Amino acid sequence: MTPPETTDKKSAVHVENLETARFECVFPTCGGVCCANGRPPVEEAEYARIQENLPKFLPHLRPEARAKIEKDGFVTKRKKEGLNALAVSKGWCVFANEGCVLHKVGATEGDRWKYKPWRCIAFPLERSKTGKWHVRQWKLKGEAWDLFCLNPEESPKKPTDSIAGEIDFVKELEGGRESWRKPRA
Protein backbone atom coordinates (compact mmCIF):
# COMPACT_ATOMS: atom_id res chain seq x y z
CA MET A 1 0.00 0.00 0.00
CA THR A 2 1.32 3.46 -0.86
CA PRO A 3 1.94 5.52 2.29
CA PRO A 4 0.14 8.85 2.66
CA GLU A 5 1.94 11.90 1.32
CA THR A 6 2.98 14.80 3.52
CA THR A 7 4.32 18.21 2.65
CA ASP A 8 6.93 20.12 4.59
CA LYS A 9 5.15 23.46 4.94
CA LYS A 10 8.36 25.40 5.55
CA SER A 11 9.46 24.98 1.97
CA ALA A 12 8.39 23.80 -1.43
CA VAL A 13 10.12 20.50 -0.82
CA HIS A 14 7.69 17.65 -0.88
CA VAL A 15 8.79 14.49 0.91
CA GLU A 16 6.13 11.93 0.25
CA ASN A 17 6.70 9.58 3.17
CA LEU A 18 8.22 11.93 5.72
CA GLU A 19 5.82 10.81 8.46
CA THR A 20 5.71 7.12 7.71
CA ALA A 21 9.37 6.34 6.91
CA ARG A 22 11.87 5.23 9.54
CA PHE A 23 15.62 5.69 9.23
CA GLU A 24 18.72 5.84 11.37
CA CYS A 25 22.31 6.17 10.20
CA VAL A 26 24.58 4.02 12.38
CA PHE A 27 27.90 4.95 10.77
CA PRO A 28 30.63 3.99 11.68
CA THR A 29 29.11 0.79 13.05
CA CYS A 30 27.98 -0.20 9.54
CA GLY A 31 31.40 0.49 8.02
CA GLY A 32 29.88 3.06 5.65
CA VAL A 33 28.34 0.34 3.51
CA CYS A 34 26.25 2.86 1.54
CA CYS A 35 29.55 3.81 -0.14
CA ALA A 36 30.12 0.29 -1.43
CA ASN A 37 29.25 -0.06 -5.11
CA GLY A 38 26.80 2.85 -4.98
CA ARG A 39 28.28 4.67 -8.00
CA PRO A 40 26.51 8.01 -7.52
CA PRO A 41 26.28 10.20 -10.63
CA VAL A 42 28.05 13.56 -10.36
CA GLU A 43 26.88 16.84 -11.86
CA GLU A 44 29.35 18.51 -14.21
CA ALA A 45 30.06 21.31 -11.71
CA GLU A 46 30.59 18.77 -8.92
CA TYR A 47 32.98 16.87 -11.17
CA ALA A 48 34.92 20.07 -11.90
CA ARG A 49 35.21 20.96 -8.20
CA ILE A 50 36.49 17.50 -7.27
CA GLN A 51 38.92 17.49 -10.19
CA GLU A 52 40.25 20.91 -9.28
CA ASN A 53 40.89 19.81 -5.69
CA LEU A 54 42.01 16.25 -6.40
CA PRO A 55 45.53 16.69 -4.92
CA LYS A 56 43.91 17.30 -1.53
CA PHE A 57 42.10 13.97 -1.62
CA LEU A 58 44.68 11.64 -3.11
CA PRO A 59 46.89 11.23 0.00
CA HIS A 60 43.85 10.10 2.04
CA LEU A 61 42.63 7.41 -0.34
CA ARG A 62 43.14 3.66 -0.25
CA PRO A 63 46.28 2.90 -2.28
CA GLU A 64 44.35 0.93 -4.90
CA ALA A 65 41.75 3.69 -5.25
CA ARG A 66 44.45 6.31 -5.65
CA ALA A 67 46.17 4.21 -8.32
CA LYS A 68 42.88 3.77 -10.18
CA ILE A 69 42.15 7.49 -10.14
CA GLU A 70 45.66 8.36 -11.27
CA LYS A 71 45.35 5.89 -14.16
CA ASP A 72 41.70 6.24 -15.24
CA GLY A 73 40.17 9.19 -13.38
CA PHE A 74 37.48 9.10 -10.72
CA VAL A 75 34.39 8.53 -12.85
CA THR A 76 33.20 5.68 -15.02
CA LYS A 77 32.59 6.02 -18.74
CA ARG A 78 29.16 4.47 -18.33
CA LYS A 79 26.47 7.09 -17.82
CA LYS A 80 23.94 7.02 -15.02
CA GLU A 81 21.03 9.44 -15.14
CA GLY A 82 22.88 10.94 -18.14
CA LEU A 83 25.91 11.76 -16.00
CA ASN A 84 29.25 10.17 -15.21
CA ALA A 85 29.19 8.14 -12.02
CA LEU A 86 31.93 7.80 -9.42
CA ALA A 87 34.21 4.84 -10.01
CA VAL A 88 34.62 1.87 -7.71
CA SER A 89 37.80 0.15 -6.56
CA LYS A 90 37.68 -3.26 -4.89
CA GLY A 91 33.96 -2.92 -4.29
CA TRP A 92 34.02 0.55 -2.74
CA CYS A 93 33.64 4.07 -4.12
CA VAL A 94 37.10 5.39 -4.94
CA PHE A 95 36.60 8.14 -2.34
CA ALA A 96 35.65 5.73 0.46
CA ASN A 97 38.30 5.03 3.08
CA GLU A 98 36.66 4.31 6.43
CA GLY A 99 34.24 7.09 5.60
CA CYS A 100 34.09 9.58 2.76
CA VAL A 101 37.36 11.36 2.03
CA LEU A 102 35.49 14.17 0.24
CA HIS A 103 33.48 14.64 3.44
CA LYS A 104 36.53 14.53 5.71
CA VAL A 105 38.56 17.03 3.70
CA GLY A 106 35.55 19.34 3.39
CA ALA A 107 35.02 19.16 7.17
CA THR A 108 38.60 20.23 7.83
CA GLU A 109 37.84 23.30 5.71
CA GLY A 110 34.66 24.05 7.64
CA ASP A 111 32.10 22.65 5.18
CA ARG A 112 31.66 18.85 5.21
CA TRP A 113 29.53 18.91 2.07
CA LYS A 114 31.43 21.25 -0.24
CA TYR A 115 33.05 18.48 -2.27
CA LYS A 116 30.42 15.71 -1.99
CA PRO A 117 27.96 14.99 -4.78
CA TRP A 118 24.49 16.13 -3.78
CA ARG A 119 23.12 12.62 -4.17
CA CYS A 120 25.50 11.45 -1.42
CA ILE A 121 24.60 14.36 0.84
CA ALA A 122 20.88 13.83 0.42
CA PHE A 123 20.94 10.05 1.07
CA PRO A 124 18.55 8.43 2.06
CA LEU A 125 16.42 11.13 0.41
CA GLU A 126 15.89 10.64 -3.30
CA ARG A 127 14.24 12.80 -5.95
CA SER A 128 12.07 11.17 -8.57
CA LYS A 129 11.80 12.37 -12.15
CA THR A 130 8.61 14.18 -11.23
CA GLY A 131 10.55 16.30 -8.71
CA LYS A 132 9.02 14.68 -5.64
CA TRP A 133 11.25 13.51 -2.83
CA HIS A 134 10.95 10.42 -0.71
CA VAL A 135 12.92 8.63 1.99
CA ARG A 136 14.32 5.46 0.48
CA GLN A 137 12.83 2.40 2.14
CA TRP A 138 12.80 -1.30 1.34
CA LYS A 139 10.26 -2.17 -1.36
CA LEU A 140 9.16 1.46 -1.80
CA LYS A 141 9.11 2.63 -5.45
CA GLY A 142 10.97 -0.48 -6.53
CA GLU A 143 13.86 0.14 -4.12
CA ALA A 144 16.45 -2.41 -5.14
CA TRP A 145 19.13 -1.72 -2.54
CA ASP A 146 18.97 -4.09 0.41
CA LEU A 147 20.90 -1.89 2.84
CA PHE A 148 19.68 -2.72 6.32
CA CYS A 149 19.32 0.98 7.17
CA LEU A 150 16.63 1.28 4.48
CA ASN A 151 14.55 -1.31 6.32
CA PRO A 152 11.97 0.63 8.35
CA GLU A 153 11.92 -2.22 10.86
CA GLU A 154 15.53 -1.48 11.89
CA SER A 155 14.84 1.73 13.81
CA PRO A 156 11.87 3.63 15.24
CA LYS A 157 13.49 6.98 14.37
CA LYS A 158 11.55 9.45 12.27
CA PRO A 159 13.42 11.20 9.43
CA THR A 160 12.49 14.58 10.89
CA ASP A 161 14.69 13.66 13.88
CA SER A 162 17.38 11.49 12.30
CA ILE A 163 18.06 13.28 9.01
CA ALA A 164 17.00 16.86 9.71
CA GLY A 165 20.27 18.12 8.19
CA GLU A 166 19.70 16.20 4.98
CA ILE A 167 16.13 17.50 4.76
CA ASP A 168 17.43 21.06 5.16
CA PHE A 169 19.99 20.37 2.46
CA VAL A 170 17.38 19.31 -0.09
CA LYS A 171 15.41 22.46 0.75
CA GLU A 172 18.52 24.46 -0.09
CA LEU A 173 19.07 22.42 -3.21
CA GLU A 174 15.53 23.09 -4.40
CA GLY A 175 15.59 26.67 -3.17
CA GLY A 176 18.65 27.55 -5.25
CA ARG A 177 21.23 28.00 -2.49
CA GLU A 178 23.16 25.08 -3.94
CA SER A 179 22.70 26.27 -7.50
CA TRP A 180 26.40 25.98 -8.33
CA ARG A 181 25.80 22.26 -8.67
CA LYS A 182 23.21 22.86 -11.44
CA PRO A 183 21.28 19.78 -10.30
CA ARG A 184 19.22 17.81 -12.79
CA ALA A 185 16.03 16.11 -11.77
Contacts of 68 (CB under 8 A, 6+ apart): 87, 89, 94
Question: Quick one: which of 13, 40, 125, 183 contacts ligand SF4 (CB under 6 A)?
Answer: 40
DSSP calls for the chain: -PPPP---TTSS--BTTTTT------TTTT-SGGGSS---B--HHHHHHHHHTHHHHGGGS-HHHHHHHHHH-SEEEEEETTEEEE-EETTEETTBSSSBHHHHHHHHTT-TTSSS-HHHHHTTEEE-TTS-EEE--TTGGG-----GGG-GGG----HHHHSHHHHHHHHHHHHTTTGGG----
- Contact between 38 and ligand SF4 (CB under 6 A)? yes
Question: Quick one: which of 86, 87, 140, 149 contacts ligand SF4 (CB under 6 A)?
Answer: 86
Stretch that binds ligand SF4, among 33-41, 128-136, 158-166, 167-175 (CB under 6 A): 33-41
Q: Which is nearer to ligand SF4, 32 or 152 (CB)?
A: 32
Closest to 124 in 3D by CA, of 142, 110, 138, 106: 138
Beta carbon of residue 3, minimum distance to ligand SF4 (angstroms, whole number)? 27
- Contact between 95 and ligand SF4 (CB under 6 A)? yes
Beta carbon of residue 170, minimum distance to ligand SF4 (angstroms, whole number)? 16
Site for ligand SF4 in 41-80 (CB under 6 A): none
Beta carbon of residue 5, minimum distance to ligand SF4 (angstroms, whole number)? 28
Stretch that binds ligand SF4, among 1-9, 59-67, 116-124, 137-145 (CB under 6 A): 116-124
- Contact between 102 and ligand SF4 (CB under 6 A)? yes
- Contact between 96 and ligand SF4 (CB under 6 A)? yes
> Do residues 85 and 39 touch, judged by C-beta distance below 8 A?
yes
Question: Quick one: which of 18, 61, 85, 120 contacts ligand SF4 (CB under 6 A)?
Answer: 120
Question: Where along the sequence are the contacts to ligand SF4 (CB under 6 A)?
Answer: 35, 38, 40, 86, 93, 95-96, 100, 102-103, 116-117, 120
